[in-house]
Chain A
Amino acid sequence: GESVGLHLPTLSVQEGDNSIINCAYSNSASDYFIWYKQESGKGPQFIIDIRSNMDKRQGQRVTVLLNKTVKHLSLQIAATQPGDSAVYFCAENIIRRRYIFGTGTRLKVLA
């Protein structure tokens, strides 16, 4: 069946270091992916997206990498800050109106 999952449920990173959050997807037909950040008590917030015709996309302090060969997605956060502490989800878009979210990875930034 189709699924989007994450390898690490919790990631602890020292402030100032880079963070890498991983995600595996199983549906080879997926052609659009989004990373979301969810802080406690809030809804998910869009971070960055990538289409399947790309393998890398950069934003402000964030980079998403897509490896279609192994169906793997990663989110890199440079110079991680305390405000980056949250749960991060990847979401996979198969049908235009439907997103499938992964389980999530909790990022803890250590001072």
Chain B
Amino acid sequence: ETGVTQSPTHLIKTRGQQVTLRCSSQSGHNTVSWYQQALGQGPQFIFQYYREEENGRGNFPPRFSGLQFPNYSSELNVNALELDDSALYLCASSLGQGRDNEQFFGPGTRLTVL
């Protein structure tokens, strides 16, 4: 069974650019959540996708958007990058949207905005 994978591993962008991060969920998992983890901080919930629909959102501006595909893989898009967007972006997949379903995290994508 393949775990959660994310690509790319590292990424460097400049302020104002746009970025797309990708996540492949664990086999059979239909729910994907995205988190932003600033250095030395805990992960902050961005949003969750369940069966291709956004299913909950944290306190992030609309320039953070996402998609989930029929195979349940997911993308996180960030427009108009700001310096404070530099962080580790984590995705987590689970069998369902309920909290009884354990989230399995990927290794993350380290985004640096210059």
Contacts and interface: CB of A to CB of B under 8 A. Distances in A.
Interface stretch (B11-19, B66-74, B76-84, B105-113): B105-113
B56 interface: yes
B27 interface: no
A43 B107 contact: yes
A99 B45 contact: yes
Contact of A95 (B41, B43, B56, B90): B56
Given A89-B42, A97-B55, A101-B42, A43 B92 contact: yes
B98 interface: yes
Contact of A97 (B97, B106, B107): B97
B65 interface: no
Given A42-B107, A46-B102, A96 B41 contact: no
Contacts of B103: 46, 99
A2 to B, nearest CB: 11
Interface residues of A, number: 21
B25 interface: no
A74 interface: no
A104 B42 contact: yes
B92 to A, nearest CB: 7
A43 B48 contact: no
B87 interface: no
Contact of B105 (A32, A43, A98): A43
B44 interface: yes
B57 to A, nearest CB: 8
A44 B41 contact: no
A103 interface: yes
B79 to A, nearest CB: 23
Interface of B: 4, 33, 35, 40-45, 48, 55-56, 58, 90, 92, 97-99, 102-108
Interface of A: 4, 32, 41-46, 89, 91, 93, 95-104
Given A97-B97, A103-B41, 6 more contacts: A32-B99, A43-B105, A43-B108, A44-B105, A98-B58, A100-B45
